[in-house]
Structure formats: structure tokens, C-alpha cells
Amino acid sequence: MTENAIKIEGLRKTYAARGREGAKEALQGIDLDIPRGGIFGLLGPNGAGKSTLINILAGLVRKSSGKVTIWGFDQDVNPRQSRAAIGVMPQEPNLDPFFTPRQSLEVQAGLYGVPRSERRTDEILALIGLTDKAGSYARTLSGGMRRRLLLGKALVHSPQVLVLDEPTAGVDIELRNMLWANVRRLNQERGMTIILTTHYLEEAEAMCDEIAIIDRGAMIVRDTTANLLGRLDTKTMVIEPETPADLPELPSGVTGERRADGALVFTYQSGKTPAAAVLSAVSNAGIAIRDVRTADPRLEDVFLELTGSGANRT
């Protein structure tokens, strides 16, 4: 049995020309292995090709070329088995407003051929916190409740792989925390492989074991979250002086700015300049320190370095 939940080889998708718009190559030969049992982040700017990739995995978009294997099943050779192995929580709601949550889950289970004796409707309603709304029409549910129901629909056939496409877009903190608690439970207790796309990079940093970044239809990088964060050797030190102070003379390679609130912010490479050298420069300038703190690189910094103005783009 393969150790990969998903294996993608040479995946390409070109959308045909429409009107005055020429053909668009959305995916340019993506190769990607996603291991079983982890939480994997699939990140990229708007228009990078993430939604196309997810829709191909879900069987909603036909690829132009390449090979997709889900839980050991070739999508072309065993389409039913590969589709049964994956559940997708879409970004956009696709709920029938006249169905109750219970009816929605039952219908979805029927579409996947789940026998009535094997359906887990009550269990899923409890998991997503909709037991007390099981008999209410979907049109009466709040936006957050509808997103919970989308998660429930993705779980009715007990998939081995769960794809969450921007699951917390526009939801409040309470719902976001509940969702992530459920995701961790599914991953840790049931061994479900989770694939997450999100624009909230702090979520990906906190949740994901590994991350792949796609831009303009091409794979830029794939690595563990820890290794990605280690790509940037930049640290930030924020010093709050006891009294207003100007920037001191700084060692080579250290940049600084004085914020409007009076804090002095220094940026440096920890591999070349020790923190003590920055503190020494501040002390030698006669600046009394009230508070000091440092910050390591964030995933957002790495993301912008690879896809934004700091990236080497061709």
C-alpha cells in the first residue's frame, strides 16, 4: 500500500479560449506527493491555480494531461474509488435552502451510496455543532452554520482525505476555533489526511506539517513548515526606550526605524549579527531600555519572498 494519500504527476490544465481571451494554462506540470496522516497546506496567491487543482482532485474539472492517484486509486482507471476516498469542503456554499441539515447529510450520503445502516448523520451533526438545528431549513442558518454544514457534507462517506478550501473565510473567531478543533480531532483520532488552502497564513503556519506554494500554475516550493520558516534568516528586534530616542549608529547589516509610537525597530540576519551587537549599539548611544522583544520570521514573510515583490520571478 502506498504511503501517499495523493500523488500528482505532470498535472496540466489549459482552459480553452473564450471570446477575446486566449487559452489559459492554469496548471503547468504539477508534481506533488501528499503523505498520509498529516495536515498539508496548499498555498498561493489569487489565480495561482489552487482551485483548479482542488476541482481536479474532486472530479469536478477534467485535467488536460497528467496523472492523479488518490489513496492508491488512479483517477482515470478507478474514478469511483478515487472520488470516494476524498471529501471536499468548498469555498462557496452549495446548499439547498429548503433542506434541513439532517436532510442535506442524508441526501449527500445517498449520492455516495452509503447504506442507511452505515450512515453517521447524528454523529456528524454533533461534530459540527448542529444537533439543535438538525430540523431547521438551511436558508434559516447563519453563515457560520452553513459553513459547518459544508464540512458535514464532506464527511458523510468517511473519506480518507479531507480538502478544506478557504474554510474560515469570513467566519468569526469562535467558529474558527471550533473548526480547527474538529480538524485536529479528525486528523489525530481517525488518521484523516487534511489538505488546507487558506489566505490566513497564520493558520497554515499553526496547523500544517508540510506546505506547498503554487504561483502562476507552477510549483514554487514544497517543504516542511519548519524548513520554510528557516529559509529566512531575518530577525526583528523591537525596543521601547524609557524616554524618546533617535536611532543609534548601527552595525553593518542592521537596519532600523523609529515608529510613530517611539519604539525602535531593528532588522538583522541572526546568522551574521548577534542580538547582543544590536543591544550594545543601543546601550552605547545612552538609550535606556524599558522593554525589548524579538520576532522570528513568519510564514507570511516567506510567502511574500517567494510570490511577492521579493521573489525572483520570470
Q: What is the pLDDT of residues 166-206, one digit of tens each?
A: 888 777 888 888 889 989 999 999 899 999 998 888 899 99
| C-alpha cell of residue 136 | 431547521
57, 42 contact by CB (below 8 A): no
Give 218's pLDDT tier (boundaries 50, 70, 90): very high
Distance CA 244, CA 176 (A): 40
- Give which of 263, 259, 254 is closest to 292, Cα–Cα: 263
Q: Which helix (H) or strand (E) holds 118?
A: none
Residue 306's pLDDT is: 85
Instruction: Average the pLDDT over 262-279 and give the result.
Output: 91
CB 64 within 8 A of CB 233: no
**Averaged pLDDT for residues 207-212:** 95
Indicate the pLDDT class of residue 223, thresholds 50, 70 and 90: very high
What are 95-114's pLDDT values in tens digits? Answer: 888 899 999 999 999 999 99
SS3 109: helix
For 259, list phi and psi in degrees, rounded to 5. -75, 165
For the stretch 137-161, pLDDT in tens is 988 998 888 988 999 999 999 999 9
Average pLDDT, the chain: 91
Q: Are 159 and 85 in contact (CB under 8 A)?
A: yes
Report pLDDT for 2: 56
CB atoms within 10 A of CB 53: 28
Going through 260-305 in order, the beta strands assigned E by DSSP cover 264-269, 289-295
Distance separating alpha carbons of residues 285 and 126, to the nearest angstrom: 61
CA 294 distance to own-chain centroid: 26
The predicted structure's pLDDT at residue 18 = 85
Cross-sheet strand order for the sheet of 161-165: 86-89, 161-165, 193-197, 39-43, 210-215, 218-224
Nearest to 6 by CA among 27, 45, 30, 36: 36
Read off the pLDDT of each residue in 266-283 and give the average, rounded to a whole number: 91
| Ordered DSSP codes for 172-204 | -HHHHHHHHHHHHHHHHHH--EEEEE-S-HHHH
Whole-number Cα distances in Å, 66 to 8, 44, 46, 211:
8, 21, 23, 21
CA distance 128 to 172: 15
Interval 28-51: pLDDT, tens: 999 999 999 999 999 999 889 999
